[in-house]
Amino acid sequence: MTLSEPRTTTRANEPRKRALVTMARISKVFSSGTVALSDMSLTVESGEFISLLGPSGCGKSTALRIIAGLGDVSSGEIDWPSSRINSRGLPEGDISFVFQEPTLLPWKNVFGNVHLPLKLRGVSKTAARSQIMDGLATVGLQDFSDAYPRELSGGMKMRVSIARALVTKPKLLLMDEPFAALDEITRQKLNDDVLKLWKTTGITVVFVTHSVFESAYLSNRIVVMKARPGRVHADFPLATSLERDSHYRTSEEYRKACEKVSYSLIEAMGGSEDH
């Protein structure tokens, strides 16, 4: 196969569909009176790559935080049908969160930062070494384990943050606009890294973004949200016969996917198609 030939999409160990987490008629009203979410229902199937897309303030981060157990709900139910639940109502060890900021500890080196989630579980550095180095290899930073955050570029810091999220081998990776602060080329590289780990590990990803292009590139399902109050406007699969790579970015199929997502977002924002 030459470099210019598009490849067909494959994913190792394609999982059988089953509900990983179900949000049923979730509402969230903050003490300020802001209704961040109203009657939001969403089932995340195991193995999906879902993008939550929508205008600012439509509740994307709130929805993600609720899935992560970082905020309570005003009404509605969260269910984890296929997981063992701990006393906090969460599936033990199954969720990792990546924020827009890498949030690395400046006084710890890369190895120490990635070790953190395991340290919190009582795993020593020695016992965790191979897991940490595997995590760093996944994001291409195996040669930077001794470096400190101040020595890394923005993209490298975000890679460390992703390695830290993966080191506990979560089933579900929640990403809240992780690449929004990065330049376009670094963002595209990290998009490819995340897609690669999604394909090779079987992890489920819920990815919050403002970007139509990013969501159309990454996801196999798009959930477009609407604001005031936050709710689901549209929920559709985004299949492609092509491998999502640099060729895909210039393909007619990607252009059509972007158009479809873009129209849906315009609708969600109350506009018309010819805006």
Ligand X SMILES: Nc1ncnc2c1ncn2[C@@H]1O[C@H](COP(=O)(O)OP(=O)(O)OP(=O)(O)O)[C@@H](O)[C@H]1O
From 20, 26, 36, 234, residue interacting with ligand X (rule: CB under 6 A) = 36
Q: Please report, as residue ranges, which positions from 58 to 87 form the binding site for ligand X (by CB under 6 A).
A: 58-62
Site string for ligand X, 196-215 (x = CB under 6 A): --------------x-----
Relative to beta strand 19-29, strand 35-45 is antiparallel
Contact yes or no for 217/184 (Cβ under 8 A): no
Measured from the CB atom, is 213 or 254 closer to ligand X?
Answer: 213
**Total number of residues that touch ligand X (CB under 6 A):** 14
Round to whole Å and give the CA distance between 154 and 145. 16
Measured from the CB atom, is 58 or 190 closer to ligand X?
Answer: 58
Q: Which of 48, 44, 49, 47 is nearest to 68 (CA)?
A: 44
Candidate ranges 15-23, 49-57, 81-89, 119-127; the one touching ligand X (CB under 6 A): 49-57
Question: Interface with ligand X includes 51 (CB under 6 A)?
Answer: no
Measured from the CB atom, is 35 or 147 closer to ligand X?
Answer: 35
**Residue 33 beta carbon to ligand X: minimum distance, rounded to whole angstroms:** 9
From 22, 27, 34, 142, residue interacting with ligand X (rule: CB under 6 A) = 34
From 6, 15, 57, 202, residue interacting with ligand X (rule: CB under 6 A) = 57
**Residue 248 beta carbon to ligand X: minimum distance, rounded to whole angstroms:** 26
Relative to beta strand 75-79, strand 19-29 is antiparallel
Phi, psi values for residue 58, rounded to 5°: -85, 0
**Residue 213 beta carbon to ligand X: minimum distance, rounded to whole angstroms:** 16
Left, alpha or beta for 153 (phi > 0: left; psi -120 to 50: alpha)? beta
Instruction: Tell me which residues touch ligand X (CB under 6 A).
Output: 30, 32, 34, 36, 54, 56-62, 210, 230
